[in-house]
Structure 1
Amino acid sequence: MALEKYNAKRDFKKTAEPQGVKKSSNGALRFVVQKHAASHLHYDFRLEIDGVLVSWAVPKGPSSNPADKRLAMHVEDHPMDYIDFEGTIPKGEYGGGTVMVWDIGTYHAEENDAVSKDNLLMKKQLKSGSIKVVLDGGKLHGSWHLVKMKGENDQWLLMKSKDEFADKKEFDPNSILTGRDFDAIAKGKKVWHRNRESDEKIVEDPILGEIKSDPKKAVKKLKSNDEFTAEDLADAKKISKFPDDWRPQLATLADETFDNDDWIFETKFDGYRALAQIQNSEVTLLSRNGLPFNSKYPEIAKTLESIANDLILDGEIVVEDSKGKSHFQWLQHLEEKPKQGQLKFYVFDILYFQGYDLRELELLQRKKILKAILPKLKNIVYSEHTIGNGTKAFAEAVKKNGEGIIAKKSDSKYYTDKRTKDWLKIKTDKQQEMVIGGFTEPRGGRVGIGALLCGYYDGSELKYSGKVGSGYTETILKDLRHKLDKIERKSSPFTTTPKEPGVHWVSPKLVAQIKFSEFTDTGSMRHPVYLGLRSDKNPKDVIMETPKVETENVAGTKSETKKATTKKATKKPAESDKALSKELPSDTKVEFTNLDKIYFPKEKITKGDVVQYYNSVADYILPYLIDRPESLRRTPDGINSEGFFQKNVAGTVPKWIKTRKIKSDSAETAVEWLLCQDKETLLFLANYGCIEMNPWSSRIGSLNNPDYIIFDLDPKGAPMKNIVKTALKVKEILDSLSVPAYIKTSGGNGLHVFIPVEPKYTYEQTRNFSHLVSQMVHRDLPEITSLERMPNKRKGKVYLDFLQNGKGKTMASIYSLRPREGAGVSTPLEWNEINDGLDLKAFNIKTIPDRLADKGDLWKDFFKNAINLKEILSKI
């Protein structure tokens, strides 16, 4: 069916669906299965043929059971631009409903290996009414058939052929692209209306129509996605009562700045945190612990009264100088010097709007709403942010002598009255609140006090943290003495009484903001400076604030130490870090951090030990890593944490590291993969939390053609003697074919057999060879081996996993550590070591350097012995 029929069914003045334009088919052909909740739920099965998506509607969807023959109604062709659409078509339009990309990938005609011939073959198959294809998608794999029913123009049957991919019981029901279900997609923003960039149509907005102060705001010109419409409140909860008991979300202290596109970065203001409750044009300003601020900052409250909407805003009250720098002490003494600087309220979040609780919305969505509704007022300012580049934001804060930055996860919700790790504070200087427990008498010509004696709470105990003798003016000294005399007491409030002459003890009721260079080993502040009193803090809440988050553990971050920006912010390495660093190259570009962190608790193996291991084996492992895209398995918290995989390193690694953009067959955008080309990159990866190295089986220049074939002998509870027996059987069969076989430990409980192959065969060809040999092994050892993919069907047997041979699939490299108990290393073995006495635990981080010194690289001639696969197959 030509695209004319597709175009005829659609009014492109009302829908933004792509107009049907035929395109040329180049490279591997693509397919998509879209799950469509229209008047009736069905699946749309689409194959790229001759520049269009030839389409069938399958009511019950694909089944992997070859016995199931699913009805498939041939419908109009769709344009290629339709292949990754996922969203909602408005009701009333043709096909109105929610569309999900259920599966997507590439395919080829059955029994054809030449991509260039696929399109012609598929045109012939379509015309004949019998289509046989091999799918390589996220869910659907292997051979599938579409057969036209006799006497029926549009009715076909879709069925699965019998192969290793048949009889998969269940498929994931959600989107292969985003993981969303229908509800999540329906609530999303991908709704096909007219192009908002050019549409001048005025649309009634039922939610904005509730704005009583200005009826004109009830309509919006849909010119830009930055404007505020009813859609923006779709996920917000309607509540009946104005919430007057909410308190601010708090940030957690982090050790250093970082870059990450999933985070935003804002200025850390040096002032008082405040919530502004606006109801019926009446304003209540509250401190972070609920104290009223109206009388203290009446100018702010008065300005906010001009906002007619009911809102709750979150922000910071500051006093700025002419250069825009905030000064906490100026804010402290605003009453005495009201003209010293400019009073402002910086607003960075919105919690409530016109009866809607916005806390469940994502942060960027809340900020979008806030920016749209916050009017331009002289002392009320929207707090801008940057996305991704925390290093630059921090450098700007240092340049302006600011307090620091706040990092916030862009998709995070708002958690009232909680301190979370979705918000991180990163300071240029060390600052924190301290409880005043006493003071000394002034000396010389000084008035008021000599120094404050400060502390922090550790449970119910007030720990002494040192005396603060600088940062005061004469006015401040007199004011402090006046306040402290009122709360003087006879005994020390500190758990351990400091030995200072002329001390006056006071009840721990006042909180001071202190700046200092660092804590000493005894918990005292070094070089402390008084900044002011904090009336918004409860003394019992003041604890020693140390970084709770190491930003190198934030997934996908490019962590930059503050040393690169300012000396004041330099993070001093631990003594153990220094000791370990001495064993590492001194001229490397890698800046080693946290080397004393424990990675393997039972063995007491540190991050530094892991870095040093890779430093010692670099010459052995690099030949198996160079030019191969790396899938980074990062375990920055050690083996007791789950860790995560990172493929795309765009913007997260130093510029000196080589990367390569590779476009997946099933995705429109390229992913930037890391290449481990040298020792410095290897050490960077180890310092980045990569205990394990995972390269592709193919190299840049021949990415579609692997240069080794893998036999993964996965034990799943099988005894060692059966693993050994299986490995020897693989060797026996390969010997009979005159194929060189190299064996190594997996680094865990299994064994890997590798065959070097000339890089001119496809992944499918190498996988088929692995499958063929695995079938021979299983034929000879049916009692102890299995080809079953489902673990519950192969308990206690050695799984012959031939599916590890696939483009983009990765496996722990030779000489790679594994992040599991024992610190095992994937180690080359000699075949005479494969016997019942084999102890896989003997090959670990502590034994491999000596083994290499003794035996060298047992695989040094591996790639020299690459086989011609076609010649081998001709012998079978």
Structure 2
Amino acid sequence: MGLREYKKKRDFSRTPEPPGEIRPEAGRRMYVIQKHEASHLHYDLRLEMEGILKSWAVPKGPSLDPGEKRLAVHVEDHPVEYGSFEGVIPEEEYGGGTVMLWDRGEWFPDGDASAKYRKGHLTFRLNGEKLKGSWTLARMGGKAGGEGKNWLLIKRSDEEAKSGKDILKDDLSVATGRTMDEIRTSRDRVWSGTEGEVAGPGQSEPPATKDPPDAATLPGARRSEMPSETKPQLAMLVKEPPQGERWIHEIKYDGYRILCFKRGKEVRLVSRNGKDWTSRFGSIARDASSLRMKNGILDGEVVVLRPDGTTDFQALQNAFEGLLPWGKIGKIGYYIFDILYYEGYDLTRTPLFRRKKVVKEVLEKGGAPPSMLYGDHIEGRGRTVYDHACRLGMEGIVSKRQDSRYEQRRSANWLKTKCVQRQEFVIGGYSEPGGSRVGFGALLVGFYNDSGELIYAGRVGTGFNEASLRRTMKALEALEQDKSPFQNPPKGRDARGVHWVSPELVSEVEFIEWTQEGILRHPSFKGLRKDKRPREIRREISALPPPDDGSAPRPSGHGKGNTVGGISLTNPGRIFYPEQGLTKISIAQYYERVADLIIPHLENRPLSLVRCPQGRQRKCFYQKHLTEQTPSVLRQIPVREKEDVGMYVAVKDLKGLISLVQLGVLEFHPWGSRGDRLEQPDRLIFDLDPGESITPHQLVQAVHLLRSFLEGLGLVCFLKATGGKGYHVVAPITRGPSWDELKEFAKRVAQQLVRMEPGLLVSVMTKSKRKGKVFLDYLRNGRGSTAVAPYSTRARLMAPVAAPLSWEELSPESAPDRFKVGNGPDLLSRPDPWVDFFSVRQAVTKTMMRKLGM
């Protein structure tokens, strides 16, 4: 059909709709539904195909009930650019009325989309923000077909199908969060479609005006009541600043993080942990009340500015403690770098670069006093910005993605890079002073691990003056107790003359590095922190993404503190992952947390192991048979091999799992069959491995194709991110076929898919044929072949984990190695996506085999 009909019906000098052109096909296939209030309300379904958007008008909208067949009237093709259109078409123009971007995402056809479209029967999967799962578009025949224009849109039966749920009640724009009324009455009336994109050369931002910004015109802004409380977004610690123009870089201010809530003239200043500090920063509160902004929530940092422009945390703390009057500590200011709410609108979904523009305009046009400062930034050039910050003696920089939303949690969209190592520690004791020193000699400090234990991290004896010694000593004396609060207190000479205290004080410490034993090297006291709760203090580890759980090494040695899961670890402080400082005991503790999830996939199965006794950075090797004496907590399984019988190990409980970590095992690869019936596999496994130049969108497309094909045969399958470059698709099966039969079945599946998508898939191992394609590896289904277990660590950079995923989590925006030991809480806080894996009862049937020509 092309775009001739589309252009013929429209006057582009009058309508805001894009004229567009036919585009070359790309790897990603766009899908959108636009709610269109024209002469009659309807929903426009659009699927990208052959360089344009094939379009159907669905009068009643889509339904999640497979029993409901919704009429879909085929209309003229639209340009791909139309997929980002939201706004108002003038009434006198064709299709005049309000258009909302109701849903958007990708679609994945089953087989050749163009051929099936011409035949009038499309089956496909949607991965949208609202609609997901399998669907059918079928052209009606006879008189009902309306000369080929009338089709039926039908939800296929799968886990996304829901009878009785009206999906149309979800009635906000996925692009801007607006209702139809808000789009109709909006001043600009047209959304540009650039949410999530950074304005660059040739792409203009809204022009500057003398008026305060209109929140209703901002992409992603949602009308809402102003919340009475919120949490600040926090940055992850990294070793190197990110590169690229999509990042902006701000100075890391050395002060107190403060959220400013303003309602009329009333102002509340709230600390990072939710404490009301309005009275402590009275001058800032008074100045904020004078802003010509009626209602808003600002995010920033209160600092003391030195004459050279750097910040002085110690001076700020002295004023805080009443040791110096506020008027004598220097210029106090509030650097504002973000805005969460503005004049009736929630801005947390508005891209950062637009939020910062609002902050700047509010301060410049809102009569901001000198103490209210704009937290400026530099675009790109992260390394250069970082180097300059360090030369100027600053603490570091914070890097933020320009297109990111505001998240009330620690997020990889905000990254902090420090010039020196500096973090908070909990005080658990102090030593007697020596010589003429008053108060105490050194503070004994530590941090909490995931188990809620306070881990000793060393002594801090420098950085004090007489006033801070006396002030800190006064606070310590009130907290003295007989028992050490540390899980691993210092012993022998290091414990002499030590006074233990209840762990209620938090100190900020600057130091050079961590020793291999997990002790601070050359630490220096910077001050007490009353804005941090002791229980939230974790060891900060530089990584990308960094650990959220604070997993940290413990000192080497033996004893109770080095026992995990009933297994005593030797050399528990040995570094297994140097990039994060993760030690043997850190990895053992990770496996202790995931034991209930991983053991069912290892139990009673022969294991092939990847061992790295000296850590990932040293020599690692693949091992099927243990040469050392097999620990008694493991089971041995005899396996017939070519010339003799080999003894494999199998895990039966937590002790067995940890005993293998003790031996340096970093990867667990179980067989696809169990020890009682080795020759009859009970799972069908495909490994999708992207070749050179394959995009994330193409990889995801390949995964969806495989899933749709297997479900078409009648097999429910599960998804796993390998922790490497690709994905595994796994179908549990009842034991029946032999290894050879299952391998042949898997081979036929792979070959059939390659015939359907020869430009995307390949099923042969030859590397020269895999370039630019996804290798669909069916060989995991051969006898003796293995696949990495769900929740197993990988012996790779940054300690990735093979992670079970729900199908909703499959996205080109998320890498297959995104889950790490360090962000284990993210992995474990989700509902188990494989909760039904062991309850599925399905077989590879003769009917399935016949369909594949077996």
Q: Which amino acid aligns with 1:183?
A: D
How far apart are 1:527 and its partner, in Å? 2.0
Q: TM-score, normalised by structure 2?
A: 0.52
1:515 maps to what in 2? 510
Q: Aligned to 1:344, what secondary structure does the other structure show? A: strand
Residue 637 to residue 248, structure 1, CA distance change in 2 (3 Å):
farther
1:453 maps to what in 2? 443
How far apart are 1:426 and its partner, in Å? 5.3
Q: Which amino acid aligns with 1:273?
A: R
> 2: CA distance between counterparts of 1:352 and 1:84?
29
1:306 maps to what in 2? 290
Of residues 220, 225, 232 in structure 1, which corresponds to 2:218?
232
2:734 maps to what in 1? 718
Alignment map for 1:586-665 (pairs within 5 Å): 597=587, 608=612, 659-660=692-693
**CA deviation vs aligned residue, 1:711-740 (integer Å, no higher than 9, x gap):** x9x8742324x345745xxxxxxxxxxxxx
Q: Aligned to 2:466, what secondary structure does the other structure show? A: helix
Q: Which amino acid aligns with 1:308?
A: R
Q: Aligned to 1:304, what secondary structure does the other structure show? A: helix
> 2: CA distance between counterparts of 1:452 and 1:593?
26
Q: Aligned to 1:443, what secondary structure does the other structure show? A: coil
> 1: CA distance between counterparts of 2:542 and 2:748?
41
Does the aligned pair in 2 maintain the 1:695–1:810 contact within 8 Å?
no
Does the aligned pair in 2 maintain the 1:251–1:422 contact within 8 Å?
no
Is the aligned partner of 1:315 residue 2:331? no
Does the aligned pair in 1 maintain the 2:508–2:526 contact within 8 Å?
yes
1:17 maps to what in 2? 17
For these two proteins, the number of residue pairs brought into alignment is 618
Does the aligned pair in 1 maintain the 2:433–2:439 contact within 8 Å?
yes
Does the aligned pair in 1 maintain the 2:481–2:501 contact within 8 Å?
yes
Is the aligned partner of 1:383 residue 2:375? yes
> 2: CA distance between counterparts of 1:345 and 1:819?
51
Q: Aligned to 1:810, what secondary structure does the other structure show? A: strand
How far apart are 1:346 and its partner, in Å? 1.5
How far apart are 1:477 and its partner, in Å? 0.8
Of residues 767, 770, 776 in structure 2, which corresponds to 1:810?
776
Residue 354 to residue 180, structure 1, CA distance change in 2 (3 Å):
same
1:119 maps to what in 2? none
How far apart are 1:312 and its partner, in Å? 3.3
Residue 483 to residue 224, structure 1, CA distance change in 2 (3 Å):
closer
Does the aligned pair in 1 maintain the 2:9–2:94 contact within 8 Å?
yes
Does the aligned pair in 1 maintain the 2:249–2:380 contact within 8 Å?
yes
Of residues 339, 345, 356 in structure 2, which corresponds to 1:350?
339
How far apart are 1:660 and its partner, in Å? 2.4
How far apart are 1:461 and its partner, in Å? 9.4
Q: Aligned to 1:185, what secondary structure does the other structure show? A: coil
Does the aligned pair in 2 maintain the 1:29–1:106 contact within 8 Å?
no
> 2: CA distance between counterparts of 1:442 and 1:724?
74
Is the aligned partner of 1:480 residue 2:500? no
Q: Which amino acid aligns with 2:16?
A: A
Is the aligned partner of 1:275 residue 2:259? yes
How far apart are 1:17 and its partner, in Å? 0.9
How far apart are 1:505 and its partner, in Å? 8.8
> 1: CA distance between counterparts of 2:503 and 2:66?
77
How far apart are 1:531 and its partner, in Å? 1.4
Alignment map for 1:421-820 (pairs within 5 Å): 427=418, 428-435=420-427, 438=430, 440-441=432-433, 443=435, 448-449=438-439, 451-455=441-445, 466-472=458-464, 476-478=465-467, 480-481=469-470, 484=473, 488=477, 495=484, 511-518=506-513, 525-537=520-532, 541=534, 545-547=538-540, 551-552=544-545, 597=587, 608=612, 659-660=692-693, 690=722, 694=726, 716-720=732-736, 722-724=737-739, 726=741, 752=747, 763=756, 808=774, 810-811=776-777, 818-820=787-789
How far apart are 1:307 and its partner, in Å? 0.6
**CA deviation vs aligned residue, 1:492-539 (integer Å, no higher than 9, x gap):** 56627987888899898765422234566887644221212335456x
Of residues 223, 239, 254 in structure 1, which corresponds to 2:207?
223
Q: Which amino acid aligns with 1:516?
A: F
- Superposed CA RMSD: 6.9
Does the aligned pair in 1 maintain the 2:216–2:345 contact within 8 Å?
no
How far apart are 1:485 and its partner, in Å? 5.3
Does the aligned pair in 2 maintain the 1:438–1:452 contact within 8 Å?
yes
1:565 maps to what in 2? none
Q: Aligned to 1:820, what secondary structure does the other structure show? A: coil
Bigger drift between 6-15 and 485-494 goes to: 485-494
Is the aligned partner of 1:249 residue 2:232? yes
How far apart are 1:345 and its partner, in Å? 1.6
Is the aligned partner of 1:185 residue 2:157? no
Q: Which amino acid aligns with 1:16?
A: P
Does the aligned pair in 1 maintain the 2:241–2:416 contact within 8 Å?
no
Q: Aligned to 1:17, what secondary structure does the other structure show? A: coil
1:863 maps to what in 2? none
How far apart are 1:478 and its partner, in Å? 4.0
How far apart are 1:254 and its partner, in Å? 4.5
Does the aligned pair in 2 maintain the 1:235–1:360 contact within 8 Å?
yes
Larger Rg: 1
1:80 maps to what in 2? 79
How far apart are 1:436 and its partner, in Å? 7.8
Q: Which amino acid aligns with 2:173?
A: I
Does the aligned pair in 2 maintain the 1:257–1:426 contact within 8 Å?
yes
Residue 338 to residue 810, structure 1, CA distance change in 2 (3 Å):
farther
Q: Which amino acid aligns with 2:17?
A: E
In structure 1, stretches of 5+ residues that fail to align are 114-121, 123-130, 194-200, 206-220, 556-573, 582-589, 619-635, 650-657, 670-688, 697-711, 728-742, 745-749, 771-805, 826-874
Does the aligned pair in 2 maintain the 1:3–1:79 contact within 8 Å?
yes
Q: Aligned to 1:495, what secondary structure does the other structure show? A: coil
**CA deviation vs aligned residue, 1:190-232 (integer Å, no higher than 9, x gap):** 9999xxxxxxx99499xxxxxxxxxxxxxxx953799643143
**CA deviation vs aligned residue, 1:788-816 (integer Å, no higher than 9, x gap):** xxxxxxxxxxxxxxxxxx97573466798
Q: Aligned to 1:274, what secondary structure does the other structure show? A: strand
Does the aligned pair in 1 maintain the 2:58–2:70 contact within 8 Å?
yes
> 1: CA distance between counterparts of 2:278 and 2:786?
61
> 1: CA distance between counterparts of 2:435 and 2:240?
42
How far apart are 1:332 and its partner, in Å? 3.3
**CA deviation vs aligned residue, 1:600-621 (integer Å, no higher than 9, x gap):** 7767956848979997689xxx
Alignment map for 1:58-457 (pairs within 5 Å): 59=59, 75=75, 77-81=76-80, 84-85=83-84, 87-89=86-88, 92=91, 94-95=94-95, 96=97, 97-98=99-100, 100=103, 132=119, 138=125, 155-156=147-148, 158=150, 168-169=156-157, 183-185=171-173, 188=176, 203=187, 223=207, 228-232=214-218, 236=222, 238-239=224-225, 243=228, 246=229, 248-249=231-232, 251=234, 254=237, 256=239, 259=242, 266-281=250-265, 283-288=267-272, 297=281, 300-309=284-293, 310-333=295-318, 335=324, 342-354=331-343, 366-367=355-356, 369-375=358-364, 377-384=369-376, 397-406=389-398, 411=404, 413=406, 415=408, 427=418, 428-435=420-427, 438=430, 440-441=432-433, 443=435, 448-449=438-439, 451-455=441-445
Q: Which amino acid aligns with 2:297?
A: I
**CA deviation vs aligned residue, 1:149-190 (integer Å, no higher than 9, x gap):** 59x9x7435569xxxx9994479799xxxx999634366279
Q: Which amino acid aligns with 1:98?
A: M
> 2: CA distance between counterparts of 1:822 and 1:3?
49
**CA deviation vs aligned residue, 1:721-769 (integer Å, no higher than 9, x gap):** x345745xxxxxxxxxxxxxxx58xxxxx85469999x9x964589999
Bigger drift between 1-10 and 321-330 goes to: 1-10
> 1: CA distance between counterparts of 2:222 and 2:68?
43
In structure 2, stretches of 5+ residues that fail to align are 127-133, 190-204, 549-569, 592-597, 624-665, 671-685, 702-720, 764-771, 795-852
Q: TM-score, normalised by structure 1?
A: 0.51
Does the aligned pair in 1 maintain the 2:33–2:45 contact within 8 Å?
yes
Residue 525 to residue 769, structure 1, CA distance change in 2 (3 Å):
closer
